[in-house]
Amino acid sequence: MSEDAIIENDKLFQPETGTVVKISPDGRATVRLSRTKACEFCGQCSVSAEDGMMELTADIPEGESISVNDKVRIDKKPKVQTRAILLLLVLPLIGLLLGAGIGYLAFSPKEPLIALTALLGLTLAFVISTILIRRNKWHQGAGLTLKKL
């Protein structure tokens, strides 16, 4: 099975659909859609607590005539989700191992202090990765585009 077929069959990378609620003059549209399992912990978009809906902004490709209240499909590059997964999983793992290594060097015979520094490293790395995701800097150039249904 080819890599494209795997990505196509993977629910994490399947396109989402929503309704256009606003179009900006710079060729970007704000789309309202339901939150999926794939983006549950990301915090990238604003989610309404009462109805579980979220809004995100995507580029309108040249030649597409999209207006407010149109139903659209949001196409995204798998690279964007991979980047978010790396930030949320790999960076905290590195923090855990780095904290354990520093704890081992500093408090060699005392295991509780080694574990404490490992947890401190994990917590610090998780906070850093969350801040990076919420700052939107990693998301620039993500390639979210719209296609009218």
* 60-91 pLDDT per residue, tens: 888 888 889 999 988 776 676 677 777 778 88
Q: Using one digit for the tens of pLDDT, what is the confidence trace for 85-112?
A: 777 788 899 999 999 999 999 988 888 9
Structure tokens at 135: 């700052």
Q: Select, from the ranges 61-65, 75-79, 119-123, 136-140, the one with the highest average predicted confidence (pLDDT).
A: 119-123
Cα 131 from Cα 58, distance rounded (Å): 22
Cα 14 from Cα 5, distance rounded (Å): 11
Share of the chain above pLDDT 90, in %: 24
Number of H helices, E strands in the chain: 4, 6
Q: What was the pLDDT predicted at 61? A: 82
**At the topology level of CATH, where does 3-76+138-148 sit?**
OB fold (Dihydrolipoamide Acetyltransferase, E2P) (2.40.50)
* Region(s) of the chain under CATH 2.40.50.320: 3-76+138-148
